[in-house]
Structure 1
Amino acid sequence: MNLQGKTILLTGGTDGIGLRLARQLRGKGALLIVTGRTPERIAAAQAEGFEVIAADLAGPEGAEAVIAGLAGRPIDVLINNAGMGAAHDFREAPPLEADDERTLWLNVHAPIRLIGRLMDTLRARPEAMIVNVTSGLAIAPNAGSPLYCATKAALRSYSMALRAQLKGTGIHVLEAMPPLVDTAMTAGRGSNKLSPEECARQIISAMESGKDEANVGMVKVLRAVYSVSPALARSIMLRF
């Protein structure tokens, strides 16, 4: 896809990978509409010249706020980037149901809800794209964040089935699978993290080349191992 002149709705675009995507996509000539929920980050993104729709997508009202903010405007690309991980490790403490619910909404329900609400708009465009940002953990889970892994695996399955449904239409479905990226969400977790700038660059490259999957950074290695032996890939990842 040539991104010049495309109108892109990007969720979670005021921080982390999303903010870097917004900046680089704007550099490609795209028109960005981003979502955010933190007033300070919203203000900072607006100061950079981005249009921001305030919406907390970790609940049922969030998707409705986004649709209302669009006010019927057509979009060419929907990027479901917003995501979160809740502490869900019984070896340390029982998980909090409220945090689990927010994670399920943000990582699974909100992307599916937005896709459903915006499908007619996307179908009406000469060329359109849906980008679902999952994770390398959607391929093989780790032991430390089972709920996060489950939500990303769910969105991966949804993306694969949706791509099959939309085959032959003007809507392309891209799944982006980042590795551990150096963002606020991963603070204090692991080392050798990929920079959010490089993560964004690789996702945009996949958008431009029309790929079905963007295996970002070390996810390329995990994907290769999984293609040879799914059991080995799972065994390696479950050590963490």
Structure 2
Amino acid sequence: MDITAKTILLTGGTAGIGQELARQLKAKGGTVVLTGRNIERLDAMRGEGFETIRADLSNAAGVDALVAELGEREIDILINNAGQLIAYDFRKGAPDADATDDGIYANLQAPIRLITALMPTLKSRPEAAIVNVTSGLAIAPASRQPIYCATKAGLRSYTLALRHQLARTGIHVIEALPPVVDTQMNADNDLSKMPAAECARQIVTAIEKNSAEANIGQVRMLRVAESISPALARNLMIRF
């Protein structure tokens, strides 16, 4: 897909992978409309020439407000990048049930609801794409993040089924599976981290090539392990 002159809706575009995606897609000639929750970060991205929309995607009302803000805007590429890392470890204390619900909605329900709402405009375009950013943890979970892993695994399953449904349309369905990336979300993670700019570059390349999956960095090795033995992949990851 040629990104030039495409209109792109990018959720979670004010920091980390999303911020780098916004900059790289703009450099390719795309018009990027990005969302976020933090006013200062939105202002900073607006200062770089991006159109921004403040949106809370942790509930249905927030998703619907975003769709209403878009109005009749024609979207060529939807990138569901926004996500929340939910603290959920009984070894450290009782999890916050409300925060858990918000995270489940943001990571899984919001992308599904947004895709549903924007499907008519995506189908109307000569060529379109849906990019769902999941995680290597969608393949095999880590014990420290059960809710995050579950939501990303759910989004992966949804993406696989959606790709099959849309196979005869002009909509490409792409799953991006990042490894541990050097972002604020992973500030407390001691594992080796991929630079956000490199992760974004590989996602952009996958869009340009109409790839079904972008297995990024160490996720490629995890996919090999899974192909040999799903149990091996699970045993490698669960202790983290």
TM-score (norm 1): 0.99
**Which residue in 1 is equivalent to 2:214?**
214
Matched, 1:99 2:99: yes
**Which residue in 2 is equivalent to 1:193?**
193
Q: Deviation at 1:191? A: 2.7
**Which residue in 2 is equivalent to 1:38?**
38
SS at match of 1:148: helix
Aligned length: 240
**Structure 1 segments of 4+ aligned residues over 4 angstroms from their partners:** none
Cα distance in structure 2, aligned partners of 1:124 and 1:59? 27
**Which residue in 1 is equivalent to 2:147?**
147
The code of the aligned residue for 2:42 comes to I
CA contact (8 A) 1:54 1:65 kept: no
Deviates more, 1:54-63 or 1:210-219: 54-63
Cα distance in structure 1, aligned partners of 2:145 and 2:227? 23
Q: Deviation at 1:59? A: 1.5
Q: Percent identity?
A: 56
**Which residue in 2 is equivalent to 1:170?**
170
**Which residue in 1 is equivalent to 2:90?**
90
Q: Deviation at 1:144? A: 0.6
Cα distance in structure 2, aligned partners of 1:49 and 1:69? 19
Q: Deviation at 1:188? A: 1.4
Cα distance in structure 1, aligned partners of 2:171 and 2:79? 13
**Which residue in 2 is equivalent to 1:24?**
24
Cα distance in structure 1, aligned partners of 2:77 and 2:14? 17
Cα distance in structure 2, aligned partners of 1:226 and 1:161? 19
Q: Deviations over 1:93-122 (max 9, x none)?
A: 111011101111100010000000000000
**Which residue in 2 is equivalent to 1:237?**
237
Q: Deviation at 1:39? A: 0.7
Q: Deviations over 1:175-196 (max 9, x none)?
A: 0000000001110112310000
CA-based RMSD of the aligned residues comes to: 0.7
SS at match of 1:144: coil
TM-score (norm 2): 0.99
